[in-house]
Structure 1
Amino acid sequence: MSDKRDLQQLSVLDREVELTKEFIEAYQKNGHAIVRGAADEQEIAAYREVIAELVKELNTQNVPLNERDTYGKAFIQIGNLWTHSEAVKRFVMAKRFAKIAAELMGVKGVRIYHDQALFKEPGGGHTPWHQDQIYWPLDTDKTITMWMPLVHVSEEVGSMTFASESHKNGFVSKQVISDESNRTLAAYIESKGLDVVNYGAMKAGDATFHAGWTLHSAPNNPTDQMREVMTIIYIADDSIIAEPDSNARKNDLASWFPGLKPGDVAASPINPLVYSRE
């Protein structure tokens, strides 16, 4: 893959998306939102080519789908693609997306935690209910994930499903993504009477945003097409590393905040500042 060739073809993603006060308030109330057309058709088509090619190069999953556990059936997962490609770096570092993230959270600036390609294979299984932030060793609730399909996602596959206002309760369970987390958190959602929202079909370049504590899941992929999604996780630029209280958080501290320790600002060389009002 020639990054020089790709960079010449790719938009710099400098167009800004304007968010209304009401939209931001709704996100902060519900813990999730959708921004239709966050990237346009031409932009996403060009970036999709380089991202999909890189996922193919980096994917090491060779176990047949029917032999994997629930987590393994949910998606092919590859993180920090931006460190492998200048073209993907341009996408992940885009000010357009970072500004949306900062405005939704109500913070002055954001850093990259990491990116993840989440490609759900044809016949791939559901993604169980979970909270992202049980994995993250951070002493803040100012975290947000952008989830953007690189291809059209039909109604039968749909967006992720969110439990509205669940982020307000913070930590619910330490269970990692699994059949157990699905049962426990589905029961929690029912017991609290939380509204469950799915945004349905999404075009390539649409994007959902959700808070780190927002409970969410995703349906299986009954189609014969790969569900190609790129995600970017943002954190407030003054976030502090917390003492990891689980193996999952210890692993994330080592992987995504190299050289840092509890009490440090979460700003390693692979957590660049990508947007600041100042």
Structure 2
Amino acid sequence: MSDQAASLPCMTENYAISQDQIDYYKEKGHILLRQVATAGEIEVYEPLISEWVRNLNNHDKPLEERDTYGKAFIQIGNLWTKHEDLSRFTLAKRFAKIAAELMGVDGVRIYHDQALFKEPGGGHTPWHQDQIYWPLDTSNTITMWMPLVPVSEEVGSMTFASGTHKLGYVNKLQISDESHKTLAQFIDGKGYEKITYGAMEAGDATFHSGWTMHSAPGNPTASMRKVMTVIYVADGTRVAEPDSKARSSDLATWFPGLKAGDFVSSPLNPIVYSRDIDK
């Protein structure tokens, strides 16, 4: 480890969550937790993450010429593998322990991270379920969604359809205009409660299940909405047989060398929290 990386905040300190918060998450499929990362930690990591996003951004068309997915955000995955400075953030024990406690599992591994930067004037993120992309044989998955800059009420957090995580697979629609229309009709038709947490400070975080239906508004402001996400999966999970092109693609991208039936344990999926190790 370089001297610079060693000097970065390691974020191993415990973040206490209550049983009421765990129960809320299990019932709703999402939760907001304040100041999961401190202002000082964000001050260090935001410039590092932003620099790599700028360097790796492969959008070569202006917003108005992109499709709905392309307008939604700049999306860069597995930043933690690009530099050890970034791995200190993604592999932080504090974040991973929260994920494990909310899901009620003994340990978690990384599925992957993603920077999701919504540009000024960027479009909405259509309704979708994350886990339609993931070839996993478990429902014990969770995503941490953390803004690296203050997010105003005008932009807001994501909107979640409470309780939809209990449904599992609803359809195979990838993020698109079609998924937005179809799932919006489903949510409204079934009467699911929709919750958005509004303004968030840098370092606040939402956590949501891989099956929780969610969307996000566009960015009407002149500032970049900078968000870092980390996806966790329960340790001991096995790879499922891909049943779609999206899942076949994810298997090749995020689980190199693995096949259906193997434990999720490739070099890209390190264990980041274990209750046994933490004792």
| Aligned residue type for 2:20 | E
Superposition map of 1:1-278 within 5 A: 4=2, 6-7=4-5, 9-278=7-276
- Equivalents in 1 of 2:268, 2:5: separation in Å? 21
Shift of 1:10: 2.0
**CA distance change for structure 1 residues 5 and 159 in 2, over 3 Å: closer, same or farther?**
farther
Per the alignment, in what secondary structure is the counterpart of residue 80 of structure 2? helix
| Aligned residue type for 2:62 | P
- Unmatched segments (≥5 aa) in structure 2: none
| Aligned residue type for 1:251 | S
| Aligned residue type for 1:119 | F
Identity %: 64
- Unmatched segments (≥5 aa) in structure 1: none
- Equivalents in 1 of 2:73, 2:160: separation in Å? 18
- Equivalents in 2 of 1:51, 1:226: separation in Å? 13
The Cα offsets for residues 51-107 of structure 1, whole Å up to 9 and x where unpaired, read as 000111111111111000000000000000000011110000000000000000000
Per the alignment, in what secondary structure is the counterpart of residue 140 of structure 1? coil
Identify the range of structure 1 (11-20 vs 220-229) with the bigger mean alpha-carbon deviation: 11-20
RMSD: 1.0
TM-score with structure 1 setting the length? 0.98
TM-score with structure 2 setting the length? 0.97
Corresponding residue pairs, total: 276
The Cα offsets for residues 227-248 of structure 1, whole Å up to 9 and x where unpaired, read as 0000000000011100100000
| Aligned 8 A contact 1:6 1:50 in 2 | no
